[in-house]
């Protein structure tokens, strides 16, 4: 169901397979969602920052909830603001790894010097993502981690942001820094688009100029060309993070793109999903279908194969209720854009999740997703 014109009351959100709150603010706040789908294990990993308050500098832990999809049964003490005021970069780039599908994690390794080098001292601050990264379908199965940095440029009075990517061609053993995309591009995500053998990396970035910025890379995210505004993807004042994923189109020879973001151009409100059937063409973005009404902000998408109605299925983790909770949605392409996909099946999906409270140490808590027959109405 499509959103109405800006300024008008939104229409009702489209049906979804599941709608459930995974993280709820109380004694702590939860922000910055990230979602990872492990296709072979049919497992979803939902991450968020656990904070003493909504402020960035009050982040304490990265917390995780794990969900198993049964297809057969169908922390930072110096704020970003302070670093931008002083021009002194206090952020370190670290990574952790898991060899058991997210159940346990290694100690953090600081890779700032090797991945960034002397440029780290030239930046006021930087961050990765937010959200998921990308593994390419090239020979080395390269990892592409979207990021952005505020640079202290001599001709400017204040640090200036620009998006870029970190790259690994050896499964995360070593990392290199890519080149900057465009000035005034911020938080970003990447996807791989194009026909097999000719795929490129598509980057979609937050901007404070009223519309998203997109660019393409033909060398695995090292360099991006053709940075341009995507006017059909509006931004609220100062912008907001959004999420993009690629998935096989009906012909399976090329990829389509799906993108989630607040639809209201004046404030962070009314979460919408946009479809591009001719990526990377910026004019090919559809009008948004509403996923949820009311306050919303950051989101993260994952493609999850085929849904019970035969169309592409997606998971979305997003901030809702003026950052009071982080909600998980499960929906299909058919539900959001019924005109794009015929309806071959009559079965739908129900999911039951326990109360989303976290353990005292912020450990992982399981949830389950399983398909059953249903009326297809929102849950």
Active-site positions read 56, 298, 319
Peptide bond into 323 cis (omega under 30): no
The upper half-sphere exposure of residue 136, i.e. CA atoms within 13 Å in the direction of its Cβ, equals 29
Give DSSP secondary structure letters for 68-124.
Answer: EE-STT--BSS-HHHHHHH-------EE---SSTTSS-PPPEE-HHHHTGGGGGGEE
- Measure the CA–CA gap between 25 and 45, rounded to whole angstroms: 19
Evaluated on CA atoms 312, 313, 314, 320, the torsion sign reads: positive
Q: Which residues pair with 67 in a beta bridge?
A: 44, 367
Residue 214: name the closest of 232, 236, 237, 195 by CA.
232
Q: Are 262 and 268 in contact (CB under 8 A)?
A: yes
Q: In whole angstroms, how far apart are CA 249 and each of 57, 201, 204, 239, 316?
A: 41, 17, 19, 29, 19
CA distances, 115 to each of 30, 92, 96, 360 (Å): 29, 11, 15, 34
DSSP secondary-structure letter at 170? S
Q: What is the 3-state secondary structure (H, E, C) of 249-281?
A: CCCCCCEEEEEEEECCCCCCEEEEEEEECCCCC
Distance CA 299, CA 281 (A): 23
Q: Are 21 and 354 in contact (CB under 8 A)?
A: no
- Number of DSSP helices (H) and strands (E) in the chain, helices first: 3, 23
Between the CA of residue 74 and those of 52, 86, 348, what are the distances in Å? 38, 53, 8
Q: How far apart are the first and last CA of the chain?
A: 16
């Amino acid at each position: 169901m499509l959103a109405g014109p800006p300024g008008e009351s939104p229409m009702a959100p489209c049906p979804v397979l599941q709608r459930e709150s995974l993280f709820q603010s109380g004694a702590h706040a939860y922000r910055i969602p990230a979602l990872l789908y492990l296709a072979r294990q049919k497992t979803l990993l939902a991450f968020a920052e656990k904070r003493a308050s909504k402020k960035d500098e009050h982040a304490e832990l990265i917390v995780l909830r794990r969900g198993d999809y049964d297809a057969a049964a169908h922390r930072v003490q110096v704020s970003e603001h302070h670093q931008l005021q002083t021009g002194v970069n206090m952020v370190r780039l670290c990574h952790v790894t898991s060899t058991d599908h997210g159940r346990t994690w290694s100690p953090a390794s600081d890779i700032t010097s090797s991945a960034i080098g002397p440029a780290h001292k030239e930046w006021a601050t930087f961050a990765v993502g937010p959200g998921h990264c990308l593994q390419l379908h090239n020979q080395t199965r390269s990892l592409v981690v979207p990021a952005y940095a505020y640079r202290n440029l001599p001709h400017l009075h204040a640090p200036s942001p620009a998006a870029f990517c970190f790259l690994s061609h050896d499964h995360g053993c070593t990392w290199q820094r890519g080149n900057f995309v465009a000035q005034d591009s911020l938080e970003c995500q990447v996807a791989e688009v194009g026909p097999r053998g000719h795929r490129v990396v598509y980057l979609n970035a937050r901007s404070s100029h009223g519309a998203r910025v997109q660019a393409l890379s033909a060398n695995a995210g090292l360099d991006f060309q053709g940075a341009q505004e995507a006017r059909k993807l509006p931004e609220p004042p100062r912008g907001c993070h959004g999420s993009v994923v690629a998935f096989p189109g009906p012909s399976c020879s090329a990829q389509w793109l799906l993108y989630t973001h607040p639809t209201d151009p004046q404030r962070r409100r009314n979460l919408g999903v946009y479809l591009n059937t001719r990526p990377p063409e910026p004019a090919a973005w559809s009008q948004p279908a509403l996923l949820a009404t009311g306050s919303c902000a950051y989101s993260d998408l994952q493609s999850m194969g085929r849904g019970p109605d035969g169309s592409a299925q997606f998971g979305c983790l997003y901030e809702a209720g003026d950052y009071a909770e982080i909600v998980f949605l499960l929906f299909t392409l058919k539900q959001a854009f019924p005109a794009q996909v015929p309806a071959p099946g009559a079965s739908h999906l129900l999911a039951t999740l326990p109360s989303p409270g976290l353990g005292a140490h912020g450990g992982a808590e399981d949830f389950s997703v399983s398909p059953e027959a249903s009326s297809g109405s929102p849950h």
